[in-house]
């Protein structure tokens, strides 16, 4: 939360006044503090670091929704169609294409690297004739909303470093996640919910999928108040949300009022400003205990809406259910919402696994985009459908074996964006005939980070946090560029 907003908010809280009521007239105190608050608001923008006075310029989007497809979906099969690939099917990768770049330890010892054309047909859809696999029939219907980048690339070729890189800008641990950065930069836009919420679902393609880590939504070197808060199904959608057994809401309210009063007495005695923020935090916790159950109770959704997300929306903790929750979170102005869907690691039996995995996400994702569009939320939300790397055009394992799959491929992969700030119905960047190397408009994941920040009105180069003597940035120390070619015209 932005300190100014935070402070201003805390000044108007009921309990603040009621807590102090024993010693001062509430009204007088209220106006005195309001004046202090204005003073603070004016002063904060002049803070030396400036990093919290964001945005830097008028933003297109106020919120981000990141639909993270964990473990690397196959761009070869799903998005990056090459008509020429069928004719090479089963033939050894040309050495000139494969080059001498490194492979993972899982395929580097293979004797042969036969090309595998997409295992499923696809079609051109939307006004621009965007090709998408028939494994994604619902996504095909939103082609005109999507801005597909086919020329993403990363240096990492294994899960832990790659997914950490994509989410924190560094392959090694210790860095802040995208959502934490956005929370740090923009602060909260709502009163009752965390600024950054993360949800995890298990994939049907491979279960369990590759492990993921709380560092992917962690705060790294940023203050831990910016870390993503997990949202889960069940009685405690946020950990520790539920009052203990045998405790009523009224009882809790009474306790907090007493607590505030006691805390005020002592804070005055000791001159302890920290206690004021603590009282505020307890109040927000109290509000969250109501606002979170309201958020997760989807009984007010129309049958038509529920049906649009597909049958799995009824399944607690599924990707579909999380998509619906994501929309509800965005409606409530949660700044950064991130879904992690596991199970895209199709080294083995891709023919069996990939259809299942696509089924998990296809209908809910399409429904979510339509739902956001219909409710006007897409106009100030940026949606990012991302993954940590792509998959190889050559087979892992013997061609034709039911156990055959595709290995990791960092050299190029596909992500798509939607919503405000980017051009809808466009494809950007191009790979070679083998979906193996980029031939046009490469976009490094740093560039993607820079572009996301740009849509939020943040200049990535000026968005820094002092850590270990460095001005640490989400985009790291290497050069990063906003992908101008995909930005919506003002």
Partner 1 sequence: MHAGAWPRLAGAIALLLMLGFVPVRAAGSQVEYNRDVRPILSENCFACHGFDEASRKADLRLDVAETAAADRGGYAAIVAGDSAASEVWRRVASDDPSEVMPPADSHRALTPEQKSILKQWIDQGATYAKHWAFIPPIKNEPPQVADASWPRNEIDRFVLAKLEAQGLKPSTEASRQMLIRRLSFDMTGLPPSAEEVEAFVADDRPDAYERLVDRFLASPHFGERMALEWLDAARYADTNGFSIDGGRHMWLWRDWVINAFNENIPYDQFLVEQLAGDLLPNRTDAQIIASGFQRNNMVTHEGGTIPEENLANYNADRVKTFGEAVLGLTLGCAQCHDHKYDPLTQREYYQLFAYFNTLSDVGLDGNAGVNPRPFFEAKTVLSANEAPALREQISQLREQLQQPAPAEVEQWIAEQQEALAARGRDLELFPAEVLKVSTPNAGSGFDVEAGRFVIISGAGGLVAYDVALRLPSTDRPITGVRIVFHPDAAAPGGGWGFGSLPTPDLTATADKGTFVVTSFSASAESVTGDQVNLNLLRDVRKATASSWRADYRPEGVLDTGLSGWSPQISHGGPVHLTLTFAEPINAQETPFLTAQVNFGVNAPLVAKRFEFLAVTGEDDGSDLPAEMMAIIEKPASERADYERQALTHYFADHAPATERRRVALANLEERLRVLTEKFPTMVMDEAEQPRETFILERGNYAAPTDKISPGAPAALPPLPADAPANRLGLAQWIVAPNHPLTSRVAVNRCWQMLFGAGILKTTADFGAQGEWPSHPELLDWLAVDFVESGWNVKSLLRKIVTSATYRQTSAANDELLERDPSNRLLARGPRFRLPAEFIRDAVLKSSGLLVDRLGGPSVNPYTPGDLWREISHYGSSPATSQAFMQDHGEKLYRRSLYTYWKRTVPPPNMVAFDAPNRETCTVQRASTTTPLQALVLLNDVQFVEASRALAERMIKAGDNDALRLRWGFEECTSRPPTDEELVILAAALGRERHRYASVHSAAQAYLATGESERNEQLAPVEHAAWSQVAAMMMNLSEAVTRN
- Segment 367 to 406, residues that bind partner 1, using CB under 8 A: 402-403, 405
- Could you tell me if 412 and 75 are in contact, meaning their C-beta atoms sit under 8 angstroms apart? yes
By the rule CB under 8 A, 276 interacts with partner 1: yes
Q: Which of residues 59-118 bind partner 1 (CB under 8 A)?
A: 102, 104-106
- CB closer to partner 1 out of 83 and 248: 248
By the rule CB under 8 A, 434 interacts with partner 1: no
Stretch that binds partner 1, among 22-30, 180-188, 385-393, 416-424 (CB under 8 A): 22-30
d(CA 8, CA 253): 22
Contact residue for partner 1 among 26, 266, 376, 479 (CB under 8 A) = 266
d(CA 41, CA 270): 25
**Tokens representing 45?**
């923008």
Q: Does 55 sit behind a cis peptide bond, omega within 30 degrees of 0 on the bond before it?
A: yes
- CB closer to partner 1 out of 174 and 425: 174
By the rule CB under 8 A, 21 interacts with partner 1: no
- Could you tell me if 97 and 65 are in contact, meaning their C-beta atoms sit under 8 angstroms apart? no
- Could you tell me if 74 and 347 are in contact, meaning their C-beta atoms sit under 8 angstroms apart? no
Stretch that binds partner 1, among 306-314, 327-335, 364-372, 481-489 (CB under 8 A): 306-314
Q: How far is the CB of 402 from partner 1 (least distance, A)?
A: 5
By the rule CB under 8 A, 290 interacts with partner 1: no
Q: Which of residues 115-144 bind partner 1 (CB under 8 A)?
A: none
- CB closer to partner 1 out of 91 and 268: 268
- Could you tell me if 366 and 307 are in contact, meaning their C-beta atoms sit under 8 angstroms apart? no
By the rule CB under 8 A, 481 interacts with partner 1: no
- Could you tell me if 76 and 132 are in contact, meaning their C-beta atoms sit under 8 angstroms apart? no
By the rule CB under 8 A, 353 interacts with partner 1: yes
Contact residue for partner 1 among 8, 259, 306, 399 (CB under 8 A) = 259
**Burial status of residue 464 (CB atoms within 10 A of its CB: 0-12, 13-18, 19 or more):** middle
Nearest to 188 by CA among 287, 274, 273: 287
Contact residue for partner 1 among 189, 351, 487, 488 (CB under 8 A) = 351
Contact residue for partner 1 among 12, 14, 26, 47 (CB under 8 A) = 47
Contact residue for partner 1 among 271, 303, 489, 490 (CB under 8 A) = 271
d(CA 223, CA 1): 11
Contact residue for partner 1 among 84, 87, 207, 374 (CB under 8 A) = 207
- CB closer to partner 1 out of 141 and 210: 210
By the rule CB under 8 A, 278 interacts with partner 1: yes
Specify the pairing of strand 336-341 against strand 63-69.
parallel
Q: How far is the CB of 82 from partner 1 (least distance, A)?
A: 25
By the rule CB under 8 A, 294 interacts with partner 1: no
Neighbours of 426 (CB within 10 A): 18
Nearest to 140 by CA among 425, 462, 352, 410: 425
**Tokens representing 361?**
């996400």
- CB closer to partner 1 out of 51 and 128: 51
What are the residues whose beta carbons fall under 8 Å from the beta carbon of 279, sequence distance 6 or more?
Answer: 10, 13, 15, 16, 19, 259, 260, 263, 264
Strand partners for 386: 68
**Tokens representing 305?**
């809406």
Contact residue for partner 1 among 18, 44, 128, 441 (CB under 8 A) = 44
Neighbours of 440 (CB within 10 A): 11
- CB closer to partner 1 out of 130 and 346: 346
Stretch that binds partner 1, among 144-152, 247-255, 331-339, 445-453 (CB under 8 A): 247-255
Q: Which of residues 450-469 bind partner 1 (CB under 8 A)?
A: 461-462, 468-469
- Could you tell me if 409 and 126 are in contact, meaning their C-beta atoms sit under 8 angstroms apart? no
By the rule CB under 8 A, 270 interacts with partner 1: yes
By the rule CB under 8 A, 251 interacts with partner 1: yes
**Tally of residues, the chain:** 490
Q: How far is the CB of 88 from partner 1 (least distance, A)?
A: 24
Contact residue for partner 1 among 29, 97, 119, 399 (CB under 8 A) = 29
Q: Please, where are the H alpha helices in 375-442?
A: none
Contact residue for partner 1 among 349, 399, 487, 488 (CB under 8 A) = 349
What is the pattern of x (binds partner 1, CB under 8 A) and - over residues 208-237? xxxxxxxx--x----xxx-x-x--xxx-x-
Q: Which of residues 164-193 bind partner 1 (CB under 8 A)?
A: 172-174
Neighbours of 23 (CB within 10 A): 10
**Torsion over CA: 484, 428, 146, 450 (sign):** negative
Q: How far is the CB of 177 from partner 1 (least distance, A)?
A: 12
**Torsion over CA: 169, 386, 64, 383 (sign):** positive
Size of the site for partner 1 (CB under 8 A): 117
Stretch that binds partner 1, among 73-81, 91-99, 308-316, 380-388 (CB under 8 A): 308-316
Strand partners for 462: none
Contact residue for partner 1 among 279, 422, 438, 456 (CB under 8 A) = 279
């Amino acid at each position: 939360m932005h300190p100014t907003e935070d402070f201003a908010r805390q000044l108007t809280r009921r309990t603040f006044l009621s807590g102090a009521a024993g010693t001062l007239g509430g009204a007088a105190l209220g106006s005195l503090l309001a004046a202090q608050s204005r003073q603070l608001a004016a002063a904060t923008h002049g803070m030396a670091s400036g990093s919290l006075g964001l945005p830097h310029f008028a933003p297109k989007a106020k919120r981000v929704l990141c639909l993270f497809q964990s473990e690397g979906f196959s761009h070869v099969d799903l998005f990056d169609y090459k008509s020429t690939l069928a004719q090479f099917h089963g033939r050894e990768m040309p050495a000139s294409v494969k080059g001498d770049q490194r492979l993972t330890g899982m395929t580097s010892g293979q004797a042969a690297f036969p090309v595998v054309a997409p295992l499923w047909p696809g079609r051109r859809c939307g006004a621009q004739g965007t090709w998408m696999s028939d494994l994604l029939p619902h996504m095909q219907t939103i082609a005109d909303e999507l801005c597909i980048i086919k020329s993403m690339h990363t240096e990492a070729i294994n899960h832990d470093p790659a997914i950490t890189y994509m989410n924190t800008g560094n392959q090694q641990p210790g860095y802040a996640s995208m959502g934490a950065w956005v929370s740090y930069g923009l602060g909260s836009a709502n009163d009752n919910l965390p600024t950054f919420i993360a949800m995890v679902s298990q994939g049907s393609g491979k279960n369990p999928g590759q492990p993921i880590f709380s560092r992917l939504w962690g705060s790294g070197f940023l203050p831990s108040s910016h870390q993503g808060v997990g949202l889960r199904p069940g009685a405690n959608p946020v950990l520790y949300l539920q009052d203990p057994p045998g405790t009523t809401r009224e009882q809790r309210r009474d306790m907090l009022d007493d607590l505030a009063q006691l805390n005020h007495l002592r804070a005055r005695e000791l001159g302890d400003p920290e206690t004021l923020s603590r009282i505020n935090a307890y109040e927000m916790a109290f509000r969250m205990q109501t606002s979170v159950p309201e958020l997760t109770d989807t009984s007010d959704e129309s049958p038509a809406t529920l049906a649009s997300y597909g049958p799995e929306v009824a399944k607690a903790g599924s990707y579909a259910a999380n998509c619906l929750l994501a929309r509800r979170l965005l409606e409530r102005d949660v700044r950064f919402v991130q879904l992690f869907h596991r199970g895209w690691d199709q080294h083995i039996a891709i023919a069996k696994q990939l259809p299942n995995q696509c089924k998990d996400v296809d209908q809910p994702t399409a429904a979510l985009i339509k739902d956001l569009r219909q409710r006007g939320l897409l106009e100030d939300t940026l949606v990012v459908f991302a993954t940590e790397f792509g998959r190889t055009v050559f087979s892992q394992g013997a061609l034709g074996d039911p156990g055959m799959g595709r290995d990791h491929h960092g050299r190029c992969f596909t992500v798509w964006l939607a919503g405000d700030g980017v051009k809808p119905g466009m494809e950007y960047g191009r790979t070679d005939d083998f979906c193996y190397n980029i031939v046009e408009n490469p976009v490094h994941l740093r560039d993607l980070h820079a572009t996301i920040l740009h849509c939020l009105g943040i200049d990535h180069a000026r968005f820094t946090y002092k850590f270990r003597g460095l001005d640490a940035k989400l985009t790291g120390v290497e050069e990063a560029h906003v992908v101008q070619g995909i930005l919506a015209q003002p």
